[in-house]
Amino acid sequence: MAEIKNEIVQHFGVISQGEWTRELNLVSWNGRKELYDIRGWADDHAKCSKGINLNKTELKSLRDILNKMEL
């Protein structure tokens, strides 16, 4: 199985901490265009859990949905 490479281009913040630290980052996977990424990371960022990638339009849609919610 080929190794998956990632580069965290920009770190925006930590969403939660536990066994993994769930973060919002801008990540390039295997040299591709950067995407906004929500997933859990090990402390040294050497390993990560499954997550979700969003382009800028999708991230804005998510923001709009969250802003409409009564939390």
Q: What is the tally of helices (H) and strands (E) in the chain?
A: 1, 4
State phi, psi for 22 to the nearest 5 degrees.
-80, 125
pLDDT bucket at 71, cuts 50 / 70 / 90:
confident
Summarised one tens digit per residue, pLDDT across range 9-50 is: 999 999 999 999 999 999 999 999 999 999 999 999 999 999
Residue 56 confidence (pLDDT) above 90:
yes
Quick one: 59 exposed, middle or buried, by C-beta within 10 A (0-12, 13-18, 19+)? middle
- Specify the CATH number of the domain 6-67: 2.30.31.70
CA distances from 56 to 5, 12, 41, 44, 48 (A): 21, 14, 22, 26, 22
What does the pLDDT average to over 3-14? 95
Q: What is the pLDDT of residue 2?
A: 83
